[in-house]
Amino acid sequence: MLLHEDYVVKEREKSEKIVRLNVDPEKIGYDVQQVHRVLLEDDERFVALESLGGPPSQRIALVTVRDGQVVDGLPSREVAALRSKVIEAAGLASDPAADSKTVEQKSSVRSEQAAPMRRVRFAKTDLILDGERHEATIKHILSNAASRVFIHSTFIRADVVEKFLPELSEAVRRGVRVDMLWGQSEDLEEVATSRRAIEALRANPQIADLGDALKIHPFSTGSHAKILIADSRKGGGFLAVVGSCNWLTSPYKSYEASVVLRDPQIVADVVGVLANITHRHSGIWLDVTNELMRLATQIAKLPSPKGPNATASVVIGAHHNRFVLEARDSARSRIFVTSHRLGPVSESAIIAPLATAASDGQVKGSVFFGRNTGAVKYQTRKRIIAEAASDGVIVEVVESPRLHAKILAWDSDSMVISSLNWLSADPMSYVEPAEVGIFLCGTGLADAVVDNFTSACEAAEVTESR
């Protein structure tokens, strides 16, 4: 597949009919695992990507299309989606009424491939629910890591990182390396606060003593995901934790929800997503991107435990909406949603699908949130709650415990635990992988989550009444 400089293409445009299939890297990016699959044969192994030392440059592939068929210019490997888009663009270009701008807009490319469904072994004890268990989990992971820990949080607070200095220091003494990454925030001040926190941490002598073993990345990844990845001294394998907890800023007092994943296939999928996150915002492959890509490949080759009892899949960006529709169409008794904030999108994104499911009187729709966004005032909140009730959906504000969990659960077995604020963020507007969650379906898993949340609310009411 031959790539050309832009000036070469412009020169050929003077004598040839060329249609540009434009791709916005801010909206599209590319999947580093797909790059791996395209470039390497089965017997080849990814080691690293060497930088040329210069700034990133853009090259253009020229593809020849005649009579609706690609003649030349695409790789020998099958790239069906790209081939289809190229043929579509060529067809639009043959329309005399279509100008180049129209062709470019209609021919823009967006990845719509969902993550694979995995058969996994999952225990209910690997559901992490409430703030204290999340704090215990990150301490346990740091204390038991064998060599590597990756932490991705929305933003960073110096005092929270410093709280884990005993575990971090002990881990570094054992030879563990820790990468801390941070990403998207809706509040620009919080982004600035994260950068100030990093400066404060670098000035901390105890942090400085950890040297290169602790790397706090200075850039924002642009992702809202909350992910922990680490290996273990006990089993030797890697695990991944995905959910709602901002590991590097949380006071660990809120009701949170995360899942611990241990099956190699789904863990490899999460590692691959984190590899994408590290390069997606800038488009530059960093050393940590190389390492995560290599790690994902290694983990994926490990055998899965026998006796799978659940189905799991990574849920990325706009694919969250797929599971809302799945719940709407397949639920038989209950759809349950928790979210940090209630926003303007709540009616179309969640309440309307739940109302559709509840219209036959068989499905109970319940939605819980902790606070409003700034765009939703008190009267608007009252209206949303009242109109939802008239459509058979209960919408309630939860003041205690402080609610930060992002859960979609239906019937007894199926759920998505995520970083996505279901009631205030439109998943269709986010660039993958801005939001990351996990779909799980296994006997009684949704029941376990809903029961735990109900018990936490009841316990909070008893405490407040004393």
Domain holding 140: CATH number? 3.30.870
Average pLDDT of span 62-70: 84
Residues 16 and 52 in one domain: yes
**Residue 7 included in any domain:** yes
**Residue 119 included in any domain:** no
Residues 299 and 321 in one domain: no
Measured between its terminal Cα atoms, the distance across the chain in Å is 72
Residues 285 and 398 in one domain: no
Range of the domain at 17: 3-106
Residues 197 and 250 in one domain: yes
Query: Cα 331–419–349 angle (5° rounding)?
Result: 50
Does 236 have pLDDT greater than 90? Answer: no
Count of structural domains within the chain: 3
Residues 159 and 226 in one domain: yes
- Around Cβ 260, how many Cβ atoms within 10 Å? 20
Q: What is the pLDDT of residue 328?
A: 97
**Residue 58 included in any domain:** yes
Whole-angstrom Cα distance, residue 180 to residue 161?
10
Cis, peptide link before residue 401, omega less than 30° from 0:
yes
- Give Rg (Cα) of the chain: 24
The answer for 29, left when phi > 0, alpha when psi is -120 to 50, beta otherwise, is left
**Residue 118 included in any domain:** no
Whole-angstrom Cα distance, residue 273 to residue 392?
37
**Residue 90 included in any domain:** yes
Residues 72 and 176 in one domain: no
Average pLDDT of span 10-14: 85
Residue at which a domain ends, from 72, 106, 140: 106
Q: What is the pLDDT of residue 114?
A: 79
In the predicted model, what is the mean pLDDT of the chain? 86
Residues 293 and 154 in one domain: yes
**Residue 115 included in any domain:** no
Does 437 have pLDDT greater than 70? Answer: yes
Residues 147 and 244 in one domain: yes
Q: What is the pLDDT of residue 105?
A: 45
Query: What is the percentage of the chain residues whose pLDDT exceeds 70?
Result: 82
Residue at which a domain ends, from 274, 303, 332: 303
**Residue 122 included in any domain:** no
Over the stretch 374-412, which tens digit does the pLDDT of each residue have?
A: 888 989 999 999 999 999 999 999 999 999 999 999 999
Q: Per mean pLDDT, which of 8-12, 62-66, 67-71, 363-367 is the most reliable?
A: 363-367
Residues 73 and 135 in one domain: no
Q: What is the pLDDT of residue 249?
A: 94
Over the stretch 140-177, which tens digit does the pLDDT of each residue have?
A: 999 999 999 999 999 899 999 999 999 999 999 999 99
Res. 455 pLDDT band, cuts 50 70 90: very high
Residue at which a domain ends, from 106, 123, 149: 106
Res. 107 pLDDT band, cuts 50 70 90: very low
Residues 425 and 380 in one domain: yes
Whole-angstrom Cα distance, residue 161 to residue 153?
11
Residues 297 and 337 in one domain: no
Q: What is the pLDDT of residue 166?
A: 97
Q: What is the pLDDT of residue 285?
A: 75
Does 101 have pLDDT greater than 70? Answer: no
Q: What is the pLDDT of residue 110?
A: 44
Res. 466 pLDDT band, cuts 50 70 90: low
**Residue 340 included in any domain:** yes
CATH number (domain holding residue 355): 3.30.870.10
Residues 339 and 281 in one domain: no
In angstroms, how far apart are the furthest CA atoms of the chain?
83
Over the stretch 252-265, which tens digit does the pLDDT of each residue have?
A: 999 999 999 999 99
- pTM of the full structure: 0.83
